[in-house]
């Protein structure tokens, strides 16, 4: 019997699930409100690490995902700027150390004193291009992308019947909630734990291809006295991505309305100017903000929604959503199509581990 799966949300998680399901011949429709990868999945760093989640409950998912990223880059005939990188740690404006490495494109005030990862253990992708490529590959296997706002999940007996999109019902046998932090809206449709958004700001610079494949994690003292943790990722497409400055400002209901906090971009620009002569305002291609999807206990919710047949969720990947998308997609495809995930153990991410959020709290604002 053929099965139709409706995936709500066209971020990296929704697109990766669509890829793995359609590769197995399952009929898939992705419904995205605003635009594919319009949120964190298009505005994140795209940094990947093999063993940085070791010793945590994410270890299996992260290790499997890191391997899948390498495999997908070889097997899918598309380019999303995947490459291995050497990763350094250091500081700016704080104490100076004898550097282990010159990183000669950086200013003298930046001291690099640690190697955090090698080309064996760290890599990067352009996250928006990766998401788009996963969706394109899914479409080549018959998946459909539909732009529209999901406003509800319809029921058929003890299970799901479909989703409501712009006043119309689309029928399906399974529904996957993958709307990132906006999945909080889905607590009105299904018994799901809470999910929040944690904002981050970023700049993309045109730096050309002279900047080497070296990722950098810094501690930086701002003029205000605050210590920030900027992350710097030069990419093979000749751009360099820098993010820093998190905030808890509220998530707008419409993903298209996400904007920067007052003053945050200016502060980030100032930090970048101090970091390197290559990171000057004239070279800025994008000034942006996005929300990491976070759960109460910090672990994603991946699996079946308890008590509702055919309802699934894959949300809350926090700072590792680009890394962990492939193994999430693969395991979700196994769960939906075969009834159980084989490639990774999803039990730490059981959506039933926390009590459902009371949606009445949304209406109280």
Ligand X SMILES: Cc1cc2nc3c(=O)[nH]c(=O)nc-3n(C[C@H](O)[C@H](O)[C@H](O)COP(=O)(O)OP(=O)(O)OC[C@H]3O[C@@H](n4cnc5c(N)ncnc54)[C@H](O)[C@@H]3O)c2cc1C
The alpha carbon of residue 286 and the mean position of all alpha carbons in its chain are separated, in whole angstroms, by: 18
Residue 88 interacting with ligand X (CB under 6 A): no
- Residue 265 beta carbon to ligand X: minimum distance, rounded to whole angstroms: 13
Residue 255 interacting with ligand X (CB under 6 A): yes
- Residue 122 beta carbon to ligand X: minimum distance, rounded to whole angstroms: 10
CA distance 191 to 365: 19
Task: For the segment 12-71, give every residue that binds ligand X (CB under 6 A).
Answer: 12-14, 31-34, 38-41, 44-47
Residue 182 interacting with ligand X (CB under 6 A): yes
Alpha-carbon distances of 259 from 265, 289, 290, 292, 295, rounded to whole Å: 10, 6, 8, 14, 22
**Which residues, including other chains, have CB under 8 Å from residue 280's CB and lie 6 or more apart?**
272, 273
Q: Which of 320, 330, 336, 351 touches ligand X (CB under 6 A)?
A: 320
Quote the tokens at residue 71.
């495999």
- Residue 342 beta carbon to ligand X: minimum distance, rounded to whole angstroms: 23
- Residue 1 beta carbon to ligand X: minimum distance, rounded to whole angstroms: 27
CA distance 322 to 199: 16
CA distance 232 to 215: 6
As a 3-state breakdown, the chain gives helix, strand, coil percent values, each rounded to 5, of: 30, 30, 40
User: Which residue's C-beta sits nearest to ligand X?
Assistant: 321
Q: Greatest CA span in the chain, whole angstroms?
A: 67
**Which residues, including other chains, have CB under 8 Å from residue 36's CB and lie 6 or more apart?**
10, 15, 42, 131, 132, 135, 145
- Residue 121 beta carbon to ligand X: minimum distance, rounded to whole angstroms: 14
**Minimum CB distance to ligand X smaller for 180 or for 310:** 180
**Minimum CB distance to ligand X smaller for 77 or for 344:** 344
Query: Which sign, positive or negative, has the C-alpha torsion 248, 254, 255, 256?
Result: negative
User: What is the contact mask toward ligand X in residues 101 to 120, using x (rule: CB under 6 A)?
Assistant: --------------------
- Looking at 11-19, 66-74, 260-268, 333-341, which segment touches ligand X (CB under 6 A)? 11-19
- Looking at 54-62, 107-115, 203-211, 286-294, which segment touches ligand X (CB under 6 A)? 286-294
- Looking at 70-78, 87-95, 265-273, 313-321, which segment touches ligand X (CB under 6 A)? 313-321
**Minimum CB distance to ligand X smaller for 69 or for 102:** 69
The DSSP code for 54 is T
**Which residues, including other chains, have CB under 8 Å from residue 168's CB and lie 6 or more apart?**
none
Q: Which of 315, 332, 341, 344 touches ligand X (CB under 6 A)?
A: 315
**Minimum CB distance to ligand X smaller for 97 or for 171:** 171
- Residue 199 beta carbon to ligand X: minimum distance, rounded to whole angstroms: 7
> Which residues share a beta bridge with 312?
176, 304
**Site residues (CB under 6 A) for ligand X?**
8-14, 31-34, 38-41, 44-47, 149-150, 178-180, 182, 185, 200, 202, 243, 255, 290-293, 315, 317-323
């Amino acid at each position: 019997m053929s099965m139709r799966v409706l995936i709500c949300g066209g971020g990296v998680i929704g697109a990766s699930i669509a890829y793995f399901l359609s590769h197995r011949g399952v009929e898939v429709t992705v419904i995205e409100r605003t635009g594919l990868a319009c949120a964190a999945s298009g505005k994140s760093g795209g940094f990947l690490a093999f063993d940085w989640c070791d010793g945590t409950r994410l270890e299996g998912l992260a290790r499997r995902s890191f391997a899948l990223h390498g495999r997908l880059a070889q097997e899918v005939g598309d380019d999303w700027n995947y490459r291995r990188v050497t990763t350094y740690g250091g500081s700016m404006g704080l104490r100076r150390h004898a550097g282990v490495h010159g990183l000669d494109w950086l200013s003298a005030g930046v001291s690099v004193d640690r190697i955090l990862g090698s080309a064996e253990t760290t890599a990067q992708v352009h996250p928006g291009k990766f998401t788009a490529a996963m969706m394109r590959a899914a479409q080549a296997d018959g998946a459909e992308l539909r732009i529209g706002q999901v406003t509800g999940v319809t029921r058929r007996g003890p299970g799901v019947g479909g989703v409501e999109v712009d006043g119309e019902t689309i029928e399906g046998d399974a529904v996957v909630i993958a709307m990132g932090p906006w999945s909080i809206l889905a607590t009105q449709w299904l018994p799901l734990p809470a999910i929040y958004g944690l904002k981050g700001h970023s700049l993309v610079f045109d730096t050309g291809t002279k900047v080497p494949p070296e990722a950098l994690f810094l501690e930086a003292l701002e003029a205000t006295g605050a210590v920030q943790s900027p992350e710097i990722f030069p990419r093979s497409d000749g751009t360099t991505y820098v993010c820093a400055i998190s905030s808890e400002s509220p998530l707008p209901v419409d993903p298209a309305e996400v904007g920067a906090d007052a003053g945050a971009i200016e502060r980030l620009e100032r930090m970048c100017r101090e970091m390197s002569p290559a990171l000057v305002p004239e070279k800025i291609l994008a000034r942006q903000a996005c929300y990491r999807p976070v759960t109460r206990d910090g672990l994603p919710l991946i699996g079946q929604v308890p008590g509702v047949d055919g309802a699934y969720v894959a949300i809350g990947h926090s700072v590792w959503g680009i890394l962990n998308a492939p193994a999430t997609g693969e395991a979700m495809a196994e769960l939906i199509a075969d009834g159980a995930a084989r490639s990774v153990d999803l039990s730490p991410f059981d959506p039933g581990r926390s009590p459902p959020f009371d949606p009445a709290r949304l209406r109280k604002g």
